[in-house]
């Protein structure tokens, strides 16, 4: 096969994936009059709007907020931040797109080795271009021009040369790190070395997640912290700066030639890495999808599915047992997400609330609850989603009348994890804070109520707005319309809880009412609203006929 063949195949796969994704969005929302051409126009207009808004915000920051420093220092600081985000993205590409690296020949197109390999390249290139467009063009360019106009002038060649270097460097980083991780997963998939590396990688992610969230939150809510960090960064960048213009002058070449040489060298490195990764993939192929140690029979559990009243409950429990590796991965993501929110919550809570106040404890528990159940909902969305049953719809369409009859079989599994998560959260908080009995009861009720409501929203939206055209298992439960409505409901719930909490805090600070009475009233109000929302949701689900949704 010639190089042109593989290049054309990669480009065609990119076009195919993009058109397929847009068509699925159109189908999810049932926009029959909407075409791909209209979507492209909307994306272009939206991107231009974001570009203009980014320039306005950058101009305001450049004029009023930035401390005095040369523009080139701010540009290099921005490039360092972008480079760090690129490295993090390169490390997470394999884990986020892991399905691409599994050998699954049940699909016709995946029976071709060329297609399997170029599918990885196409996703790598398209995701890198998307990341570059958002970070480089929509954020970095407006910030750079704002500095050029309102701070002090500099060589614009520095900006225009940074974008192609950024794109190629991103591709090189993603290729190199993905290649190493793939080889490690391929040859040490079942070994103790793989387990040890996962523990180290997971520990690093947990630490980075907590510290990055704490840093970002402190930047907003701690002025002294911001000033100290900015002074340290500016001093470090100014001392370690490698200005390409100065470097070019030292070797007596024009800066433009220096940029061109950097682009050529990066391009050659990218070509070399692409060739090497292609040879590795072609020689060793992908990772087998089915593991021999997971292939034991579960036939003894099939009798549980004979009861029509709990068929989905038994099936989902069996499904979770078979997907233990997948489940462990999502548990890990849940822990990382919770640590991120804890890091974010500590400066926020400390800014608005006295750390010695009982409301400080409740605020932390509430924020952690919001985080953990949002993440658990995403983790269970694939298993508990109703549209996952669509391939066997003929087996249940005429056995059940309403959507609620299916939801009520899936909800207990989610509620089990709500109870377990609540016990873990409260037990940990007792060790760390030693709260009173009233605070423990209040925090427990908040966690149970929010978790239950989040669960019924997560599951019911997959039945009310199912994804009929899912092709891959990772698409199950992710109808574009259903996912956005679920996000709207959950965010609305978070807003209601936050408003009630804020009102209770104001009443406690501005009046002479006893704090215990305020907390008890706040908890009872949350419980009343939660029970009302749950009952209304159940009544609505009972009215929606399952055949009306699944038979178009």
Please write the tens of the pLDDT for every residue from 154-211. Answer: 666 767 777 788 888 888 888 888 888 787 777 665 445 455 556 666 677 777 777 7
Q: What pLDDT is stored for residue 531 in this prediction?
A: 93
Range with the poorest average pLDDT among 130-139, 167-176, 316-325, 504-513:
316-325
Q: At what angle do helices 157-187 and 255-284 cross, to 10 degrees?
A: 20
pLDDT at 305: 44
- Enumerate residues 6+ apart whose C-beta is below 8 A from 297: none
**Percent of residues, the chain, with pLDDT higher than 90:** 4
Whose tokens are 């070509």? That residue is 271
pLDDT for 310 equals: 62
Q: In angstroms, rounded to a whole number, what is the distance separating the alpha carbons of residues 150 and 179?
A: 43
In tens, the pLDDT along 396-409 reads 666 777 888 888 88
**Could you tell me if 140 and 162 are in contact, meaning their C-beta atoms sit under 8 angstroms apart?**
yes
Which DSSP string corresponds to 224-272? HHHHHHHHHHHHHHHHH---HHHHHHHTT--HHHHHHHHHHHHHHHHHH
DSSP 3-state of 545: strand
247 or 316, which is more confident: 316
Residue 253 CA to residue 78 CA, distance in Å, equals 26
Which pLDDT belongs to residue 406?
Answer: 81
The rounded distance, in Å, linking the Cα atoms of 209 and 447 is: 23
SS3 category, 402: strand
Half-sphere exposure of 29 (CA within 13 A, CB side): 15
Query: For residue range 448-480, what is the model confidence (pLDDT) as tens digits?
Result: 998 899 889 888 888 888 777 666 666 676 777
Q: Which residue has the higher pLDDT, 146 or 65?
A: 146
Q: Is the pLDDT of residue 536 over 90?
A: yes
**Helix %, strand %, coil % for the chain, to 5?**
85, 0, 15
Q: How far is CA 408 from the centre of its chain?
A: 28
Contact 298, 318 (CB under 8 A): yes
CA-nearest of 245, 246, 215 to 232 is 215
Q: Which residue has the tokens 């020949």?
A: 105
- pLDDT score recorded for residue 491: 84
The tokens describing 219, both together, are 């930047």
Q: By C-alpha distance, which of 196, 452, 224 is closest to 350?
A: 224
**What pLDDT score does 329 carry?**
62
Phi then psi for residue 186, to 5 deg, are -70, -45
For residue 130, is pLDDT > 50?
A: yes
Contact 103, 183 (CB under 8 A): no
Q: What band does 532 get if pLDDT is binned at 50, 70 and 90?
A: very high
Contact between residue 105 and residue 111 where contact means Cβ atoms under 8 Å apart:
yes
Contacts of 227 (CB under 8 A, 6+ apart): none
Mean pLDDT for the stretch of residues 473-498: 80
Burial class (CB in 10 A: 0-12, 13-18, 19+), 3: exposed
The whole-chain average pLDDT of the chain stands at 75
What pLDDT does residue 539 have? 92
Is residue 292 predicted with pLDDT exceeding 50?
Answer: no
As a whole number of Å, the CA-based R_g of the chain is 27
Predicted pLDDT at 400: 73
Q: How far apart are CA 73 and CA 75, in angstroms?
A: 5
**For 287, phi and psi rounded to 5 degrees?**
-80, 130
Q: How many CA atoms lie within 13 A of 463 on its CB side?
A: 33
pLDDT tens sequence across 380-389: 777 777 776 6
Whose tokens are 């467009």? That residue is 133
What are the tokens at 169?
A: 């460097």
Whole-number pLDDT of residue 552: 57
User: With the C-alpha atoms ordered 345, 346, 351, 352, is the resulting torsion angle positive or negative?
Assistant: positive
> Any idea how long the chain is?
552
Report the Cα–Cα distance between both ends of the chain, in Å, rounded.
45
Q: Please, which residues bridge with residue 402 across strands? A: 545
**Residue 296, pLDDT score:** 44
Mean pLDDT for 109-124 is 83
Q: How confident is the model at residue 239 (pLDDT cuts 50, 70, 90)?
A: low
Dihedrals phi, psi of 356, to nearest 5 degrees? -90, -5
Statement: residue 118 has pLDDT above 80? yes
- The residue with greater pLDDT, 368 or 74, is 368
Distance between alpha carbon 87 and the CA centroid of its chain, in Å?
A: 17
pTM of the model: 0.57
Structure tokens at 239: 């001392």
């Amino acid at each position: 096969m010639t190089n042109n063949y593989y290049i054309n195949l990669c480009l065609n796969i990119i076009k195919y994936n993009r058109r397929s994704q847009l068509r699925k969005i159109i189908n999810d929302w049932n926009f029959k009059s909407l075409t791909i051409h209209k979507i492209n126009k909307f994306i272009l207009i939206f991107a231009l709007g974001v570009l203009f808004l980014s320039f306005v915000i950058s101009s305001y920051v450049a004029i009023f907020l930035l401390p005095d420093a040369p523009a080139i220092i701010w540009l290099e600081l921005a490039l360092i931040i972008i480079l760090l985000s690129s490295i993090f993205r390169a490390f997470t590409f394999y884990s986020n797109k892991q399905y691409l690296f599994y050998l699954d020949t049940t699909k016709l197109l995946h029976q071709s080795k060329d297609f399997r390999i170029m599918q990885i390249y196409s996703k790598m290139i398209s995701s890198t271009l998307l990341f570059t467009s958002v970070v480089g063009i929509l954020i970095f360019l407006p910030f750079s021009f704002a500095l050029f106009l309102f701070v002090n002038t500099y060589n614009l060649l520095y900006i225009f040369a940074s974008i192609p270097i950024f794109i190629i460097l991103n591709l090189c980083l993603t290729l190199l790190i993905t290649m190493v991780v793939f080889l490690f997963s391929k040859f040490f998939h079942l070994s103790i070395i793989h387990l040890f590396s996962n523990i180290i990688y997971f520990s690093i992610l947990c630490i980075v997640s907590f510290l990055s969230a704490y840093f970002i939150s402190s930047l907003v809510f701690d002025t002294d912290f911001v000033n100290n960090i900015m002074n340290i960064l500016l001093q470090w960048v100014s001392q370690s700066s490698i200005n390409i213009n100065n470097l070019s002058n030292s070797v007596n070449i024009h800066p433009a030639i220096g940029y061109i040489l950097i682009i050529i060298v990066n391009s050659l490195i990218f070509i070399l890495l692409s060739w090497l990764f292609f040879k590795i993939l072609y020689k060793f192929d992908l990772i087998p999808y089915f593991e021999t140690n997971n292939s034991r029979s579960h036939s003894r559990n099939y009798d549980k599915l004979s009861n029509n009243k709990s068929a989905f409950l038994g099936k989902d429990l069996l499904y979770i047992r078979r997907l233990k590796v997948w489940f462990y991965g999502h548990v890990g993501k849940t822990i990382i997400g919770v640590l991120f929110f804890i890091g974010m919550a500590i400066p926020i809570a400390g800014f608005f609330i006295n750390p010695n106040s009982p409301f400080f404890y409740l605020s932390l528990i509430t924020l952690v609850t919001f985080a953990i159940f949002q993440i658990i909902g995403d983790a269970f969305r694939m298993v508990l989603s109703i549209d996952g049953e669509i391939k066997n719809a003929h087996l249940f369409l005429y056995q059940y009348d309403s959507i609620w009859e299916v939801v009520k079989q899936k909800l207990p599994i989610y509620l089990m994890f709500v109870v377990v998560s609540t016990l873990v959260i409260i037990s940990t908080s007792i060790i760390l804070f030693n709260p009173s009995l009233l605070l423990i009861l209040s925090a427990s009720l908040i966690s149970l109520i929010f978790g239950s409501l989040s669960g019924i929203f997560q599951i019911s939206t997959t039945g009310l707005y199912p994804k009929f055209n899912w092709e891959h298992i990772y698409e199950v439960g992710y109808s574009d319309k259903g996912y956005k409505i679920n996000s709207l409901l959950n965010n609305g719930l978070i807003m209601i809880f936050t408003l009630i909490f804020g009102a209770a805090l104001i009443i406690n600070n501005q009046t002479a009412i006893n704090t215990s009475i305020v907390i008890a009233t706040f908890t009872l109000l949350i419980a009343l609203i939660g029970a009302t929302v749950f009952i209304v949701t159940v009544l609505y689900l009972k009215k929606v006929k399952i055949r009306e949704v699944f038979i178009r």
